[in-house]
Amino acid sequence: MPNKDDEMTKDFDSYMEVVITDSDGLEYFYWVNTQDEDIAIEVALERHDELGRPEAVDDFEGGIFPAAYSPVIPWNKDHAVIINLPES
């Protein structure tokens, strides 16, 4: 029997989820259709700025920095900005 979470994200298997935290501790989610972590973070940060959202925290030593991972987390779907990169 298929898992409900798997069904929610089956169309997003090729995506990475990027989480960006601002200085107030708010988290913003971006789903980017790439499996390259560096590209996913770069594209998500660009979109974050384009949307006029608060500045992203990038404090590696403090443990707060933009991070990308796969697979995407199903319960973040309603809050995620989905970014479709052109195919290369």
Please name the helix (run of DSSP H) or strand (run of DSSP E) that holds residue 46, with its range, or none: helix 37-50
DSSP code of residue 65: -
User: Using 50, 70 and 90 to split pLDDT, how confident is the model at 7?
Assistant: low
List alpha helices for 2-36, DSSP H.
Answer: 4-9
Alpha-carbon gap, residue 3 to 68, rounded angstroms:
23
The rounded percent of the chain whose pLDDT value lies above 70 is: 89
Three-state DSSP class for 87?
coil
Alpha-carbon gap, residue 77 to 82, rounded angstroms:
9
Q: Is the pLDDT of residue 67 over 50?
A: yes
Q: Is the pLDDT of residue 85 over 50?
A: yes
pLDDT at 86: 87
- Which of 32, 28, 88, 76 is closest to 56 using CA atoms? 28
What residue spans define the domains of the chain?
Answer: 4-83
Average pLDDT over residues 54-80: 94
Q: Is the pLDDT of residue 1 over 50?
A: no
pLDDT in tens, 20-63: 999 999 999 999 999 999 999 999 999 999 999 999 999 999 99
